[in-house]
Every structure is written in C-alpha cells, then in structure tokens.
Amino acid sequence: MALLTPSSAALIFYPSDPSSSRRSQILTLLHKTTSLLPRTLHPYGESLSLWEGALQRAWDDVNSSASRNVRIAVFSIDPSANSQDFITAFLDDPLSLTEDARTSLRERWNACPQKSIVFSYGSTDINIPEGVITIPSPWLSRLNATIVELSPEFTNPMPVLAQSDIAILLAGPFLQIDDRPMVALPNSLVLINDPHHPHLPLAKIEASLQNLHTQAIASADLSQSIQAIDQLTSRPRTSSAVESYQQLHKRSRLSSLHKILERRLLSGEPPDLSVDIGNIKLATARHVLHGSLSAIDFAVKNVEAENKASRDSVGLLRKMIWQTELSSRDQVYGEPSLVRKAVEKSEKTVRSAIDTLKWWRLPLQIDDLGPSLTRVISHAWCRDLEKHLVFHAGRLSVLQTSIRSNTQKIISSLPDPIRTPILINDVAQTTTTAHNVQPFSLASPIISRLAHLNSPVARLHSTAQKLVLSTATSSLASIAGAYLVWSVHWMQGETALAAGLFGFFIGLRRYVKKWDSAKKRWWENWTRVGEGLERDLQVRMFALFYGRLQISSQKVFEDTLNENITASPRKAADNLEQQLRHREDDLDSVKTELQSLQAQLEKL
C-alpha cells in the first residue's frame, strides 16, 4: 500500500468538560481549513473530496449537542492480516453469545454481499445480507462503540477511516502493505497479528510505517484468543477449561489492545471510567484537522517539488537556447571580418568595371552604362557569402527540428499541473510552417541590400547622360558662337577660333570634374550599403549576446534564432517562468496561512 507522507499528529484526548472556548476555536479552525483545502488539493481530487467530507462531518459533529456512539473502523492494510479473526477475537464472548450467534459471527463474510459490516451493542440480531450485526459484546457496551469492519476488497477505505474516532489497522508480521494509497491517520493504531514474535522489533516496524504516522503499535496472536474461546465454550463447567482459557488469552496478548483503547476512549479515575462523547468529538475533530493540514502540507511539498522540477526544465531550455545561439553564431560568423571581406571582394570586381567608364568613353557607352553595371554588380555582390549562408540555413533547419524535439521531451517530462493546455498550444504555434527556417532566411539581407544599389546605379547613369548631353551642347554652342562673331566681323578669325576653343575646353573640364564627383558619390553609396549589410548580418548579433549595442536595422540573424530556430524553447521557457511566478506567489500565501493554522492547532 503506497503511503502518502503528511506530517504526523499526536493522538490526544482532553479531559472531560472541554471549555466552550476550545470548541469555538476548533470550529473556527475547521472553517479556515475547509477554505484552504481547495487552494492546495484541487489537483488531487480524491484527497480533496476525502478531507472536505471529513471536515464537514467533524464540523457537524462538534456543532451538535446530540450524543452518539464511539466510531471504530477496522481495516486490513496487509493481505496477510485477517480482519475476520480480529473481530471474532475482539467481540466473541463465551458468556454472552449463543452458539448460533457465535457461528454466524465467525462465518459472517461467507454470506455477506456487502463490503462492510457494522457491529453494535444490543440483543442478538444478525442481519448478514444488510451487513448489520447486533450482539451483547461486553467491549461494545464498555466502550459505547460501534465498529465498522471493512472488507479487504473495500476499494476506498480512507473516508471511513479518517472520519472514525479510532482506526484499527491490521497487518501481518512481514508488513506486506498493499498498493492502495493511504493518508496519515493520527487517530490510528496498528495491530500486528504475529503468533511467533511476542516482542516486536518496534524500531523496524515504525520505520516501515513511518509515513502512516500511527500513534500506537501493538501485537497479538489472534489465533490464541480464538482457541481460548473455543476451549471455554467446549467445556464451560470445567476448571481445566477455565485455566486453559486464561493461559491462551494471556498468550494472545489481546489485552494490550484493550488497554490502549481504554486509555484513548475512557475518561475519569478508576473505577469510575466512562466514555465522554463530547471530549471524543473534539479529539476526533482535532485529528481530522491534523490530517487535513498534513495533507495540505504534503500538497505544498509536492508543489515545491513540481516548481523545482519546472525551474530545472526552464534552466535546460535556457541552456539549449544559449548553446544554440553561441554555436550558431560561431559557425555562421566565426570569422569577425567575414562580411567585410565578402564586400571587399565584390568591390574589386565592381571597381574594375567602374574603372573602364572613362570620361572619353561615355558617349559610346551612354545607353548601356546602367544595365551593364547592374549585371556586373549582381554577379559580383557577395556570391560566396550568399552560398555560405544558404548552406548554414539548411544546417540550422536540421538543428531546428532537433531543438523542437528536445523541447517536446522537456515539456512531456513536466508535472501535470505545469503542463497546461496553454503551454502546449503556445509551443505548438511555434512549430508551424511560418516558423520554419527557409534557404534564404539568413541570406535575405544580401538580396535586400543589393536592391539598395539600384538607385545609385540609376543616378550614375542619369548623371552620365546629362553630362554627355550638356557637354556636347556647350561645345557646339562655343563653336557656333565663334563662327557667328567671325562671320559678322566682330572678331578676327584667329581670335574667334581661340574663343571657341576656350569655351569648349571649359565645358570639357566641367564635364570631367562632374563625372569624377559622380563616381565618388557612387562609391560612397557602395560603402554605405556594404556597412549596412555588415550590420544586418553581424553587428546586431553582438547586441543579442552581449546587450551592448542598440542599432536600429534589420536584425536577420537573431530574428531567425528567436522566431524560428529557438522559438519553441523560448516560448516554453517564458510560459513556464510566468506560471512559476504565479504559483510561487500563491504558494507563499498558502504556506503562511498553513503555518498559522498549524500553530493555532498546536495550542489547543
């Protein structure tokens, strides 16, 4: 039987005439504990139902002034222990029961369809089909008790045991505890049915039953007690039968259980011992409070363990993100000047093409200048770097699949209360096609920055056309003006020719100077685009890892990491951290209230 581990609580019965103050305090604690239960035990539906029912019954019991019998429940927690023998040995009285009543008592389970039998004191009335037996047992009379015997097949004995005044748990000598869940029962005592070891190794037994936190352990040889009864009933008038009965009864050690029950249930001074049911009600309510608070304490420890496991999972997710970012950065941009070298290599190819655009060749190349330069730039623009990034995008796609798989394994290992539908849905959204790494996920800045060069090329082409046209126009105007002033005899021929050539060379000098300026501006645009590409691909990455740079540009690499590759573990870690903050805040509040209730209970 798997035993839950709430903290133990002493089985204490107070003197008779308990004050109304103690009764009020217990009622207040019952109310507060009932309010606290759903905040901690809602993941444990069966335990919540158990203790809510026990607290409600304890409240009704304490709040009622009506008298009742002492409630004793008997259940076997060990398949090798026989509860049938215990009830027979405990209730069978050779002087009170008839032979027919004795036979019916011993064979009660043979014809009983119920999973429990209720024993009460009175004239003999045995109703086996209904599971009710009334017999004139001296012990039932002395203890003013009703005993409920639960069958070993009773599937959920905990409510009956927790709500009883005394829970007698039967076990065999080898403590073969079955696998049904048990809670701590501060109102319990354990009886070991062991015919061979009258002196039990209590330390070993207590260690085996430590999670049950029972307050009394006794041993008995039930077979000896039954033999004693048989001896006396077979020869009721002989002194040898009486002597044999006394010896067998003594060897049975059942009297130790009688003494424990008397100490628990009887008040006053000998010989005036009696049952004070008001005192027993308060004591039982106190035991229920102990059990409930212990269950809450157990749930709190469970939540703490779940939070710790979840914190460890968050650490694994964050470590996965960090290792992925670091290794990817080193593999994709392991060389610090990778982008700069790619731009410089492209620049060499483009510069050789630009250098062919001499001023004297412009008139012959004027129509094809823009398209030809665009073709050269397109073929030269960071081709090797683009192939490098496309290759690593494929590698990162494989890495993304592995990371998603590892994230799912971590989520699957989370405790059920942490693995919420919201968490699963959030992570599932990061595994859609939209978040997959594409071949050009990393190389997209190369294409976008190449488009930024279209405008400088167009301006250079337009400038060349304007310069050729304006220079040709000014040259023709100078020659025509010189001819005009010569034809109207304003100047002599040599002077007019000199003036025309002077105007022509002035226009040509302006043309050469403006063309050089246009090429210079074009290279400035080239440098700006190259630096922008380096920022897009690399510089923002250092801001991601070190938090030192704040550059407003297209952050392709960390976008690919955050929104694609590490999106699943990042979303899972963020969701878990948010959950844990709320859970830890609630847990602190519950622990504070729990400690307050425990302190108040200890003072009672």
pLDDT (tens digit per residue) in 533-568:
877 775 434 333 333 333 333 345 555 566 677 888
497 has a pLDDT exceeding 50 = yes
**pLDDT for position 33:** 93
Euclidean distance between CA atoms 27 and 33, whole angstroms: 10
> Which one has a higher pLDDT value, 207 or 364?
364
**pLDDT for position 335:** 64
As a whole number, the mean pLDDT across the chain is 78
Indicate if the alpha-carbon torsion angle 402, 403, 408, 411 is positive or negative. positive
Q: Which of 326-335, 402-411, 413-422 has the lowest mean pLDDT?
A: 326-335
CB 290 within 8 A of CB 4: no
CB 468 within 8 A of CB 381: no
Grade residue 407 by pLDDT with cuts at 50, 70 and 90. very high
**pLDDT for position 409:** 93
**pLDDT for position 8:** 37
CB 188 within 8 A of CB 298: no
Kindly state the average pLDDT of the residues 14-30: 74
The ranges assigned to domains in the chain are 67-275, 334-545
CB 189 within 8 A of CB 169: yes
**pLDDT for position 57:** 93
433 burial level (CB within 10 Å; 0-12, 13-18, 19+): exposed
Kindly state the average pLDDT of the residues 134-145: 88
Residue in 454, 457, 450, 453 with CA at minimum distance from that of residue 519: 457
Into which CATH architecture does domain 67-275 fall?
3-Layer(aba) Sandwich (3.40)
CA 352 to chain centre: 63
374 has a pLDDT exceeding 90 = no
The Cα-based distances of 289 to 20, 32, 281, 335 in angstroms read 18, 10, 12, 68
Tokens matching residue 567:
């999106």
pLDDT tens column, 218-236: 878 888 888 888 888 877 6
**Whole-model pTM over 0.85:** no
pLDDT tens column, 419-442: 989 999 988 888 887 777 777 777
CA 348 to chain centre: 58
Kindly state the average pLDDT of the residues 49-64: 91
3-state secondary structure of 71: strand
Residue in 495, 492, 493 with CA at minimum distance from that of residue 503: 495
3 has a pLDDT exceeding 50 = no
180 has a pLDDT exceeding 60 = no
CB 99 within 8 A of CB 192: no
**pLDDT for position 459:** 84
CB 600 within 8 A of CB 29: yes
460 has a pLDDT exceeding 60 = yes
Residue in 60, 62, 58, 34 with CA at minimum distance from that of residue 48: 34
Q: Which of 118-122, 350-354, 520-524, 581-585 has the lowest mean pLDDT?
A: 350-354
Grade residue 6 by pLDDT with cuts at 50, 70 and 90. very low
3-state secondary structure of 430: coil
